Every structure is written in structure tokens, then in C-alpha cells.
């Protein structure tokens, strides 16, 4: 049994050796042949897609009291398959900043600029997009001095080109 | 029974003894001379048919996204007449670029090595014939495609392809 097992293992080891596969032979009857080199869309591990994208945005932006216009920049990079694009939406639930100290007053604002983009399959690294927070003077005047805040949600998805 | 078998085997053994037969092409009787000569030579008309060569080229190859070096080497075995040489040349289908098979304009450039005409001597490797090769000579420099890391960036993820053609000439 041991001898049989050792023979089986030896055969298995030989078959496991990585040997370059030769497909064709040229000889007096055939003096030229072709070999095609083709890329996969998967990485070397064989199952991870080569598609990738990154959206980088500030975790927090502080706005000075009574500042009427504030830009927020974010960057986008994407390398997708030929039939995909990156769709990115930025939104607030209600465009109102609220206070943790009281519920009676909210600071209304507008969110404009690159709030919705769709591009690809390639978006160059370092591509910058800009959002704008607009708070008119009259809105500042309506609320007590306090810390007001709101959350912007960035939502990304891959869509067909 | 054993005696019968041993008898049969002895008869077979005696029958199998080979005795060389000597004969002169033009029979020469050795009478007054004490020696004669017989010339044995290879039939020159058979030389061309005896020549052979085999060049093994690689199979089609799929490479992972991001691969920076691709081995596309070939190997040679040959037995040609003295003074003859065997030359192998490799070319690609699109000026050292892989093109997008999904119709995009992006390409992946590569730097080839070993494409230029590589000349081998008359005898390479070991073998009795084109179908009985036991040892090969590898091309030197080896055929490789080198793809810079940057070539994989800034292009759509797709299937890019090139076709290499291997051509043999004997002179």
C-alpha cells in the first residue's frame, strides 16, 4: 500500500510541475505559425476584477458664521470595463442644518455644483469635482447663534455605459 | 515437461544467432592478393530527405490584468546538412501594441525581446527525427513581451490582444 501511495504521489507531483504549453510545430511542411497573446479582465489571483474606482471627499467641513458660499471639493478616479460608467450622487435628506442644543430652529441651505455625475470607463486619477453650500444672509439672520450641522450622503454605483 | 520446454528454448536460441553475410558490391576474389576493400557510403541522393527540423512555438496565452512580463519563447531541434542554418523570426500584428477587442481606442504597448531573426546552426537539440526529439535548444535571447506598469493604467478594462507570427527559414 505504501509503495502504491508513493507512486501515486510521485505521478501527481510530476503533473503539477508548471511547464509552458507548446501548441504548434513548424517544420519543412509548415514554415510559419501564430500564437495569440490576450489579456484577461481579472487580476493575477484569477477572480478579482481589474475594475476599480475611488471617490475621496472630506469627512467634515466647517463653515464660518454668516459665510454665504462654501465650496467642498472631492476627487474621483475610475478604471472600469469598457461598458461601464461610474454614477455618483451627493444629497442631503432635507437641506437643513439642525442643532443638537434645540429643535426650534434649523439653518436652511442650498446644495449645488457636481451633485450628480456619470462618467467613464476611465476617469483620470485626481479628477476634482466641486459642491457648493449656499446660505443666504437672511437665513443666517433667522436663527440663534449655535452649531448647526447636516450630513451629505455620497452614493456611487456602476451603470451601463 | 521441463525438459521439453528447455529443448524448445535451446532450438530457438540457436535459430536466433545472427551470422553476418559478407559480400562485395563487385565480387572480388582474393587469390593472389592478400586483402581487398569494400566501400560503404551514404547514398547522397537520400541526404535532402534525411534533413529535418522542428520549431515548437507556444500556445495562445491569456495573461492576467497587470502582468508585466510574458514568456512567448520557442524551441528548436534540427538535423540539417553541414553549412546550413535555420533562422526564426517573430513579428507581431500591430506594431508592438495590444488592441482593444471590444472596439475601444485604447491600446497596451509592449517592448518585445527576441523578435529579431535568430540563426541556429545545422544541428540543434537531440533527436532521431522530427517526431523523435528528446532534447531541445531554446531560443536565446528568449522571446518575451515586457509591459510597463503604467501601460495598464488610464485605459478601459477590456480584452486586449496581439498575434505573434513565428517564421522559419533554412538556408
Instruction: Tell me what the mean pLDDT of segment A2-21 comes to.
Output: 62
pLDDT of A68-117, one tens digit each? 999 999 999 999 999 999 999 999 999 999 999 999 999 999 999 999 99
Cis preceding-peptide flag for A121 (omega within 30 of 0): yes
Handedness of CA A87, A94, A60, A63 (dihedral sign): positive
Is-contact B98 B111, C-beta < 8 A?
no
CA-nearest residue to A23 within chain B is B59
B169 touching chain A per CB within 8 A: yes
Please report whether residue B130 resides in a domain: yes
Contact assignment for A34 to B164 by CB distance below 8 Å: yes
- The bridge status of strand B144-146 relative to strand B126-127 is unpaired
Classified as helix, coil or strand, A31 is coil
For residue range A36-59, list pLDDT tens digits in order: 999 999 999 999 999 999 999 999
Q: Is residue B42 part of a domain?
A: no
Is residue B163 in some structural domain? yes
Q: Is the pTM of this model over 0.90?
A: no
- Whether residue A68 lies inside any domain: the answer is yes
**pLDDT for B58:** 94
Cα B60 to Cα B73: distance, rounded to the nearest angstrom: 12
Residue B32 lies in a domain: no
Q: Does A4 touch chain B (CB under 8 A)?
A: no
Q: Which domain holds residue A109?
A: 52-160
Q: Do A80 and B65 touch (CB under 8 A)?
A: no
Whether A27 and chain B come into contact, CB under 8 Å, resolves to yes
> Residue B148 is part of a domain; what is its CATH number?
2.60.40
Has residue B25 been placed in a domain?
A: no
**ipTM for the complex?**
0.79
Is B157 an interface residue toward A (CB < 8 Å)?
A: yes
> CB B67 to CB A28 under 8 A?
no
Instruction: Classify residue B31: in a domain, yes or no.
Output: no
Does residue B8 lie within any of the structural domains? Answer: no
What's the CATH code of the domain at A104? 2.60.40
Q: How many domains does chain B have?
A: 1
User: Is A88 within a domain?
Assistant: yes
The reply to whether A29 touches chain B by the CB within 8 Å rule is no
Most B CBs within 10 A among A33, A38, A39, hence the mutation to make, goes to A39
Question: Is residue B133, in this structure, part of any structural domain at all?
Answer: yes
Percent residues over pLDDT 90 in chain B: 61
d(C-alpha A153, C-alpha A131), whole Å: 12
Q: Is residue A13 part of a domain?
A: no
The answer to whether residue A106 is domain-embedded is yes
Q: Count of domains in chain A? A: 1
Question: Which structural domain range is residue B99 located in?
Answer: 47-170
Amino acid at each position: 500500500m505504501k509503495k502504491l501511495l508513493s507512486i501515486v504521489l510521485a505521478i501527481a507531483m510530476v503533473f503539477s510541475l508548471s511547464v509552458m504549453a507548446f501548441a504548434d510545430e513548424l517544420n519543412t511542411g509548415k514554415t510559419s505559425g501564430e500564437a495569440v497573446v490576450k489579456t484577461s479582465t481579472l487580476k493575477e489571483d484569477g477572480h478579482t476584477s481589474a475594475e476599480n474606482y475611488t471617490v475621496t471627499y472630506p469627512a467634515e467641513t466647517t463653515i464660518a458664521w454668516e459665510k454665504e458660499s462654501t465650496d467642498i471639493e472631492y476627487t474621483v478616479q475610475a478604471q472600469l470595463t469598457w461598458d461601464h460608467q461610474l454614477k455618483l450622487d451627493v444629497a442631503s435628506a432635507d437641506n437643513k442644518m439642525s442643532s443638537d442644543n434645540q429643535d426650534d430652529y434649523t439653518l436652511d441651505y442650498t446644495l449645488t455644483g457636481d451633485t450628480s455625475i456619470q462618467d467613464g470607463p476611465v476617469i483620470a486619477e485626481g479628477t476634482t469635482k466641486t459642491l457648493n453650500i449656499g446660505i443666504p444672509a437672511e437665513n443666517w439672520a433667522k436663527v440663534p447663534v449655535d452649531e448647526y450641522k447636516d450630513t451629505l450622503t455620497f452614493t456611487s454605483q456602476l451603470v451601463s455605459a | 515437461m521441463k525438459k521439453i520446454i528447455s529443448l524448445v528454448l535451446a532450438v530457438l536460441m540457436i535459430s536466433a544467432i545472427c551470422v553476418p553475410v559478407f559480400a562485395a558490391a563487385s565480387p572480388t576474389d582474393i587469390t593472389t592478393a592478400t586483402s581487398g576493400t569494400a566501400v560503404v557510403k551514404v547514398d547522397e541522393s537520400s541526404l535532402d530527405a534525411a534533413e529535418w527540423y522542428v520549431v515548437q512555438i507556444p500556445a495562445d496565452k491569456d495573461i492576467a490584468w497587470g502582468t508585466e512580463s510574458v514568456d512567448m519563447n520557442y524551441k528548436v531541434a534540427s538535423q540539417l546538412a553541414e553549412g546550413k542554418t535555420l533562422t526564426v523570426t517573430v513579428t507581431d500584428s500591430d506594431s508592438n501594441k495590444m488592441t482593444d477587442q471590444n472596439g475601444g481606442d485604447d491600446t497596451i504597448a509592449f517592448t518585445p525581446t527576441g523578435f529579431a531573426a535568430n540563426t541556429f546552426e545545422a544541428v540543434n537539440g537531440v533527436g532521431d527525427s522530427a517526431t523523435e526529439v528528446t532534447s531541445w535548444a531554446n531560443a536565446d535571447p528568449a522571446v518575451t513581451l515586457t509591459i510597463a506598469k503604467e501601460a495598464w493604467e488610464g485605459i478601459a478594462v477590456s480584452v486586449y490582444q496581439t498575434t505573434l507570427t513565428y517564421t522559419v527559414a533554412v538556408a
